[in-house]
Structure 1
Amino acid sequence: MFYKTSRIFLIFFFFLFLLFQSPQKVFSVVYFYDDFKNDTNKWEIIGNSGWTIKDGMFGIRLSPGLSNAIPKDSYWDSSLINYIYKVDLLSISGNDKNIVINFIDNRNFYEIHAHDDHIHFDKYVNGISYQLQNTIGSNPYPLPLNNGITYHFKIIQENHQIKTYLDNNQIFHIEDTQPFLNGKIGLRVGTGGSLTSEVWFDNVMVCSLDDPCEMTPSPTQTPSPTNSPTPTNTPTNTPTPTPTPTPTSTPTPNPPVVFIPGLGGSFNFKEMFLGQHNPEGWVLMPGANVYRNIFQAFDYSNNQNFYVFFYDWRKSVLDSAKKLENFIKNSVKPWNNKVYLIGHSLGGLVGRACIETTESNCYAEKLITVGSPHLGAVDAYALVEGGEIWRKGIMKLGFELLAHYYQIPGETKKDTLNRVAPVILELLPTFDYLYKNANIVPYSSLSFKNPLLSILPQYNKISIFGNSFQTLRSLSLIEPSAIEKIFNLWPDGKPKERFYTNEGDGTVLSLSAYPMEGEGYSFNLDHGGIISEKTALEKIFDLINYPTPNNSYTSLNDDENYLVFFVHSPVKISLDELPPNSFSNDEIIIIPNPDEKIYTLTVRGVENNYYSLSVGQIEEDRVIWNDYFGEAEENKEENFQFQIKSNSLENPLVDPDNQKNNQFLEALIKKTKEEINALKISRIQKLALIKLLEKISDENSQKSFFYLNSFRKILAEFERKKIIYESEAINIRQRASSIAKILEEIDFLKIKKVGEKAAQNSLRLAELAKKSIDVKKLSRSQAIIYEEAKEKLEKSEIFLDQKNYARSYILSQEVKDLFWEIKILD
């Protein structure tokens, strides 16, 4: 009896002893646990859907995308700060595996981000990622996580310190001086630089710091670091195996790099303007300086592993994406069917679309987008709805060339750009950016919507983007004017105010360049700097494992002022002196940053026929085109001189004796007569028009204006009575306007003695004539005449202010007749 009592007492004393020796095992807490044996009720999904349970594990297969699984509020203690988080991770495909802690929202959290050959610890603050310093080694840590192997992670979160263990080996010790001290744990899967990614998780446990939920890992193959030994906090007496010599192997070469320039960066006159197949004719747009540094860094001229994909940026991104795939397949011919894609601005969208829409996934090993508008750009609204070009540099040059070359009589610039450049629709924002009466204009109500970005799936690209530059964020709209409504301009509203933010690179907003998909790297650089400045280039080279360039590259920007000469056949043109960095062929000459001087242009006839010559001065704050219509003779050369001045409205043609103007006048009258004879009207009606044209000459410009105005009035009568079609009248009326411009020059040279009072009186009468027009009742033909008159009236006012009374007087006289022509069409 005594023995039994003593034994019971000893057992009780033993348990009491254990209780006091290990109090932490009694009072420790398991905050969260899920082994995925039953359901996924504890989790909410942020990002792509598709998470499921399979073989007792929780995961997702993405192709492509980015998704987070986060504990629901009802299963998570929001006051939790210090804890241990354990999870098993098994990757099946892809090279992007992630675990998150202190997840506040999709823009603020910590992340353990595993790639195919390293792991890095990131902190996301307002969507921008930062790699934090690892006090026990490097960040990123050189360790591959191989597919098909289960890895055991343990993260200890204790105030501002975060320790990370992989298979019981510590790989990170992070000390964050400005830590996130709340938020949830989470599971995160993205495709990153891969096309697909499949990752599964199991045994998710969150415990108090005394670690009550110690798990026994199943036997797995434990990886070893590739470059350095795994650091540990406590040395262990592990027997050292005898090292086995590693055979030396030849380093695997990097995949080729394919660079895709942005909108306006590529140029091929024959393909883009003449519609001729000319694959060898692609060049970098003159003035596109921002790409000089990256070309030099990759040694473009000599590097057989660096390619530039030039493309017709007018066309749909999907069209360019298909051509990119063919370019890689047929020209690059990558040795391992993989390439690194680097796309600047629109080029990033082309690369992304190529990956997401082609069978080969564009052969992409990795895509880096630099300042690319993944959610669109606000100034595209002006292009699409108003035909206005708000940007400067090569984009302005490109769109002005397209608009002037392709515009047909009666067509607005908006109509032309939407017809020849469908890409502008694909640049419209997909986020809220329009306001009317202080209320957001719903995207669903807009007349024009982005047909591309709303259907492209998300892709885990790598985004480099700029910040801290004033970037257009939103627009306040008002009703368009009566004239604008006639031309169907601004159907969703005319911009009244533009609102800017510093969260962008001056061209593309940060929220568009990095819409929280994949990796993001922010730089305080503008749209040109993020593809040309040294720190940005170093990051690009680092991301593709290329040696960092040694040069100290500074930020570059494109030229903003251009002089352009182009012709419609059958002539060829050339300059006596072609400035450096210019582009020239038989049909077009582009000169960035032109000098103010006289340029001598030689025009040589290829055959006997009419030709047109356009001279454009495209500057930051204005664009002026002057057009000349002549008749060429085969093999005959003729020289023309143009006096180029900045901020001048005067015709640049140097023609003191009116010899050139008279030639142009004769050619225009001859061509107009041919077009009249082609009309399906009576012979008498044709003669009524032709006889007036034949009386126009340079000998008496004042009378010639009278005959020209009479010609236009008869034309208006024919249109009003429907003797000719509106389109026919618009075409011939444009010829008459060209004749008027020549007569203006001839008249100016002959009547320079016009006093200030005469000019003022003439301008006043022209303004009164304008007020007599009820713009709300105008037809399209009348509206075209009204716009012509308004433009001449504005120039007349400018010339009056400049005390150029003769030019002011000539223009205001024309304006009165144009407004009278409008009334004839009533």
Structure 2
Amino acid sequence: MEDDFDDGNIDNWIVVADPDRTPCSAPWEVVGGRVGISINQPSCTTNLMPNDSLWNDLGNEYVIDVDMEFVIGTDHNIAFRFTPTILKNYWYDIHFTSPGGFVLERVPPGPTSDSKTYPVPNRETPYHIKIIMKTGDIEIYIDGNLALDYEYDPLTDKFPTGRVALRAGTGGDSVSETYFDNLVVTSLGDEPEEKDPVVVLPGIGGSWDTTAMVTGGDGDDWKKTPFVKVYENLKNTFIDNAGYVEGEDYFEFYYDWRKPLTDLADDFDDFLQTTVLTDKPEDTKVDLVGHSLGGMVARVYAQEHGIDKLDEIVTTGSPHEGAIPAWLAWSGAEVGERWSWQWLTLQLYLQAHKFGYASPVAAVRGLTPGLKDLLPIFDFAKDEEETVMPYSGLTDLNTYLDGLKSSLSSEVKDLLNTIAGREDDPDRNTVEWLTLGERSFIDQLLGRWPDGKPVNREYTDEGDLTVLQKSATVSGAASTGLVEAAHVSLPQTETGIQAILDALDLSEVTPATGVEPLPRNPSLVFFLHSPAELTVTAPDGSQAGFGVASPMANSLYSSEDKLLIIYNALAGIYGVEILGTDSGQYHLDIGQLTEAGEFFTTIGETTAAGETDSYQLNFEPDDPLVQPIVDETGKTQLILAKAKLKELKDAVNRRWFKNFIDQIIRLIDRAVEKIDQGRFRWAQVYVQRALLTDYYLRLFSDRHWSFWGLTAQEQILAHNLAAEVGQYLEDAFIITFELSGRRLTSRQVQSYIRETERLKARVDRRLESYGQENQLLGETYELAEAKLAGAKADFDSGNLAEAYAQLLAAKILYQEALGLL
């Protein structure tokens, strides 16, 4: 029997009172598609039992699956082998009590009862209860976890017959409210054959390991990414609607998505042998359901480890012939999509570790080598004459995926079911062709766009915004499906889940659809590295993060990972508070996700237990600030600059180098002192000196790194961190200059622009004949060009202080570039 109560009535149910107890006067009723009761009466009981027609003589050994929601009160019950009589009712029940436990009862009491401590029920989220009632053995599962296995002597069983009953009551606490939904009772005599275990493999960014994210190491606890919700409906479909049990016949494989596919297949083989197939019969076969990269892991496993343990493979949105976004990331460090969350984990990882690489392209390739396995093995590029550039002739060829394609056997194809997506939004389509034009000096220096820079994109509706249909399908596969959905939604929508069920011959199962995707834009992301805790206050006064009892409704916070997401984020000033839990250095990565683009920054300081650092963040979704931390005095910017310099000083243990850093720190300390005194004219002087000295630190690090005894890695770190410090000092200079009362004239700034342009011209002449890759030179020249362009734009807008600050940096950066040439 089953009843989801969506029809709004309980015509096939009977209210049964306990003859020896006071009946509750409150009615059982259907509210929001679930049946329940709200009691406000001391010491009463009530039962709701299926009538004969609904019960359909299911016998006395059966499996109960039901969702229970505990709203208020301490008595929440579900009874089984419930048998009413004139004088007394007989039943077993699970009696949830407060605080946080339940008792398995026999009423009237048998020789024994048993109790089990269980986490306090979440009064906002239903618990899924599964009861297996066998004579002599009762198993109770809560949310897929075995909570109690109670064995007893059947000879002591005084009431071996009866049906299920929904039960509620009160004792000394006169208030109780309980709801039931999605009730399914299956006779053990009619229990279906044992299911093939299912393993779900999420896509890129669906797995998270805090240690790996922070340290860049391997990590040892890969789990579901806290903010990823796209697989919840699929999981609920298998567990709630299809009767799978997590840990028995339903599993999720979380993995290190940075690795090459062959390594991931090896990791999956270990997971299959040690987790999925443990205590299973030798002939057990497994169904694999992989989304995006997860589908590729499943396929590679089949090709490299064999199909003996596999029954079906379902891939949805998997790039069997690669994906153009992977090429954009690998060739040009162009990472991310403004309409989905799928790249966010990678973006946070790159933000945390980019300072160790000479260029963004080097960072992408060094930090995520597995991305190369997703480069396209189909033609997708044209030159500016519209001539197709064969993929086989491009600089970075995906020989691994080409080899997989040529070695794909008919035996694997017979198990392979592919699902492709098609986004039906007329305003958004999938890139099908890239027109590659001549790359710039900067691109050449940085090793970016080796085959040409994308200058135009052609789109098609035959794709899911990430993967083209022709790549998501495999010729000769056992089945091929097409779903109207974007890439990230394929395992989440009703039609997407139905396609997966159809491929597994589970078409009769109803897809679960209760979890909606989180809106992405505008959003704020905070990822804190220890030793500290994070609390954020929004412009409307609502809070989220550590120690917040009632967090803002539009937030997700993982205290274990110190990761906070605020979606539908309000524009305005946010308060960010860092509470130290130990002595050491912390880093806070901040992401601004908007329709205008994605902007990431990192702030850091030292802290101690009980110490609090407070910051203000200005979030403007329509026009995001590259550096959103604001302070009307400039002091915060100086403190953050000093913290970066200390970090650099600790990382590079060279006397002359450290002396140089100490000079900058002393200038910053002087500037902070003058700000505290309100003497902004002097503060501006010290900030300007610090700014110039910082950029000269970069210059001398590049020119004299061997003299100072710097390693190549230390040179890169000095290069990158000094640039971060420079941005803070520029911001502080602009603020203190405005507060100092000093003024610049247009003629002065024009003169600085001309002087800087003359220096730029010298660099350009040298670059014309340079003709080789030099990532440090490329980063320096690109930064100098950005500063000069920004200065000109500020000058045209009348922002003379802003223009002057950027010109100070640009001039030294061009000098640095000349030295690197």
Counterparts of 1:611 and 1:249, CA distance in 2: 58
Q: How does 1:350-361 map to 2 (within 5 A)?
A: 350-359=297-306, 361=307
Residues 382, 436 of structure 2: 8 Å contact kept:
yes
Displacement of 1:448 after TM fit? 1.3
Counterparts of 2:195 and 2:310, CA distance in 1: 13
1:382 pairs with 318, 328, 347, which one? 328
2:237 pairs with 294, 297, 318, which one? 297
SS in structure 2 of the partner of residue 399 of structure 1: helix
What is aligned with 2:680?
Answer: none
Which digits, 9 at most, give the CA deviation of each residue in 1:634-662, with x for residues without a partner?
A: 44233333232212226322433444334
- Corresponding letter in the other structure for 1:638: D
SS in structure 2 of the partner of residue 310 of structure 1: coil
**Residues 712, 284 of structure 1: CA spacing in aligned structure 2 closer, same or farther, 3 A cutoff?**
closer
1:368 pairs with 314, 323, 345, which one? 314
What is aligned with 2:643?
Answer: 667
What is aligned with 1:254?
Answer: 195
What is aligned with 1:231?
Answer: none
2:207 pairs with 259, 266, 273, which one? 266
- Once the two structures are aligned, what percentage of the paired residues are identical? 25
**Residues 613, 767 of structure 1: CA spacing in aligned structure 2 closer, same or farther, 3 A cutoff?**
farther
Displacement of 1:543 after TM fit? 2.9
What is aligned with 1:694?
Answer: 666
Larger gyration radius, structure 1 or structure 2: 1
2:501 pairs with 541, 555, 565, which one? 541
SS in structure 2 of the partner of residue 408 of structure 1: helix
Q: How does 1:199-218 map to 2 (within 5 A)?
A: none
What is aligned with 2:600?
Answer: 625
What is aligned with 1:425?
Answer: 372
What is aligned with 1:723?
Answer: 707
What is aligned with 1:706?
Answer: 689
Displacement of 1:397 after TM fit? 1.2
Which digits, 9 at most, give the CA deviation of each residue in 1:485-538, with x for residues without a partner?
A: 112112222222222222222221111111322121223333244333323322
SS in structure 2 of the partner of residue 352 of structure 1: helix
Which digits, 9 at most, give the CA deviation of each residue in 1:239-276, with x for residues without a partner?
A: xxxxxxxxx97531321222211122222222344357
Residues 584, 590 of structure 1: 8 Å contact kept:
no
1:448 pairs with 375, 396, 417, which one? 396
- Corresponding letter in the other structure for 1:490: W
Counterparts of 1:510 and 1:716, CA distance in 2: 50
1:439 pairs with 383, 387, 400, which one? 387
1:489 pairs with 432, 448, 451, which one? 448
**Residues 670, 777 of structure 1: CA spacing in aligned structure 2 closer, same or farther, 3 A cutoff?**
farther
Counterparts of 1:557 and 1:508, CA distance in 2: 21
Counterparts of 1:629 and 1:553, CA distance in 2: 39
Select between 390-399 and 749-758 the one with higher mean Cα deviation: 749-758
**Residues 591, 482 of structure 1: CA spacing in aligned structure 2 closer, same or farther, 3 A cutoff?**
same
Structure 2 gap ranges (5+): 1-188, 538-542, 545-551, 675-682
Counterparts of 1:553 and 1:670, CA distance in 2: 49
Residues 380, 425 of structure 1: 8 Å contact kept:
yes
Which digits, 9 at most, give the CA deviation of each residue in 1:447-491, with x for residues without a partner?
A: 212243222232311111124653222222223212211121122
Counterparts of 2:494 and 2:647, CA distance in 1: 57
Which digits, 9 at most, give the CA deviation of each residue in 1:3-49, with x for residues without a partner?
A: xxxxxxxxxxxxxxxxxxxxxxxxxxxxxxxxxxxxxxxxxxxxxxx
Displacement of 1:818 after TM fit? 2.5
Residues 786, 819 of structure 1: 8 Å contact kept:
yes
- Corresponding letter in the other structure for 1:737: A
TM, length-normalised to structure 2: 0.63
Displacement of 1:366 after TM fit? 0.6
- Confirm or deny that 1:397 pairs with 2:344: yes
Displacement of 1:349 after TM fit? 0.8
What is aligned with 1:792?
Answer: 787
- Confirm or deny that 1:323 pairs with 2:267: yes
Counterparts of 1:555 and 1:635, CA distance in 2: 39
Counterparts of 1:539 and 1:717, CA distance in 2: 61
What is aligned with 2:418?
Answer: 463
Displacement of 1:370 after TM fit? 1.0
Structure 1 gap ranges (5+): 1-247
What is aligned with 1:655?
Answer: 631
SS in structure 2 of the partner of residue 253 of structure 1: coil
Residues 701, 743 of structure 1: 8 Å contact kept:
no
- Corresponding letter in the other structure for 1:748: I
- Corresponding letter in the other structure for 2:251: Y
**Residues 500, 704 of structure 1: CA spacing in aligned structure 2 closer, same or farther, 3 A cutoff?**
same
- Corresponding letter in the other structure for 2:471: S
1:310 pairs with 246, 251, 254, which one? 254
Counterparts of 2:722 and 2:219, CA distance in 1: 36
**Residues 759, 430 of structure 1: CA spacing in aligned structure 2 closer, same or farther, 3 A cutoff?**
farther
SS in structure 1 of the partner of residue 343 of structure 2: helix
Counterparts of 1:468 and 1:662, CA distance in 2: 47
Residues 759, 806 of structure 1: 8 Å contact kept:
no
SS in structure 2 of the partner of residue 791 of structure 1: helix
